[in-house]
Amino acid sequence: MIKELPKVLSIYDIDIPVPQARLYVKEHFTQNSHIEDPRVIDMLVNKGYMELEETLMQWKQKAQLMRVFEERYVRKSDEDVMLDEFFSGNEKSGM
């Protein structure tokens, strides 16, 4: 995936620097570093290859790919933060 990252960013015209995108891909891998079951590891590797192939074949739309980067690089709006606080039960009593 790391080798193909500049190509993917170019194909989909995504304005994220390659080093930052590499860090995000690295974070995806470290999220699953605790998994030790070889069957689950094989499944995740195969799923990763399928995602890469779909991306390189341009079977995904830009919006689908941006959703992956959006969580990290796009700041939440005040309304989103307010809703997150409300649903978690930590709302500020302003009424």
Q: pTM for this structure?
A: 0.64
Cα–Cα distance measured from residue 70 to residue 93, given in angstroms and rounded to the nearest whole number:
30
Please state the separation of Cα 29 from the chain's center in Å: 11
- Nearest partner of 82 among 94, 70, 69, judged by Cα: 94
pLDDT of residue 54: 92
| pLDDT tens-digit map of 32-41 | 899 999 999 9
